[in-house]
């Protein structure tokens, strides 16, 4: 399963099939591809190297082990900065409307629509 979930080939086939089926590109699927791209430099060849070209022959990248304290701290700092920036900007532009229950994620409106009846 690791090979299937960490292959950019599999990701491209599934994301492409969904794109064709829906006739619209689903940006949310890029999270999977981005995960694979992040894993490539963050795994060493001796422990779960990323098979990004599976089922084809893949030249594994001997990256940096992701479980090091400095890397985890950097990751958490990036998450905190990203979410803090998101919250501050929504407040700055008056987009923080609790009553609408509307969230804009990557241009997709996830608003709760009132029932027709
Ligand atoms: Zn992974």
Ligand 1 centroid to Cα of residue 77, in Å, is: 20
Ligand 1 centroid to Cα of residue 17, in Å, is: 22
Q: Indicate the domain borders of the chain.
A: 1-65, 67-117
Phi/psi region, residue 101 (left: phi>0; alpha: psi -120 to 50; beta: rest), is: left
Ligand 1 centroid to Cα of residue 34, in Å, is: 10
Buried b (16+ CB within 10 A) or exposed e, 89-106: eeeeeeeeeeeeeeeeee
Say if CB 64 and CB 70 are below 8 A apart. Answer: no
For residue 114, the 8-state DSSP code is P
| pLDDT above 70: percentage of residues in the chain | 81
Per residue in 21-72, pLDDT tens?
999 998 999 999 999 999 999 999 999 999 999 999 999 999 999 999 999 9
């Amino acid at each position: 399963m690791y090979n299937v979930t960490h292959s950019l080939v599999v990701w491209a086939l599934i994301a492409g099939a969904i794109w064709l089926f829906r006739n619209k590109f689903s940006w949310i699927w890029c999270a999977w591809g981005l995960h694979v791209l992040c894993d490539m430099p963050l795994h060493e060849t001796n422990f779960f190297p990323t098979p990004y070209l599976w089922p084809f022959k893949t030249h594994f990248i001997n990256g940096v082990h992701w479980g090091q304290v400095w890397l985890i701290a950097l990751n958490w700092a990036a998450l905190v900065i990203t979410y803090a920036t998101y919250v501050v900007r929504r407040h700055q532009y008056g987009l923080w409307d609790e009553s609408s229950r509307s969230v804009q994620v990557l241009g997709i409106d996830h608003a709760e629509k009132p029932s027709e009846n």
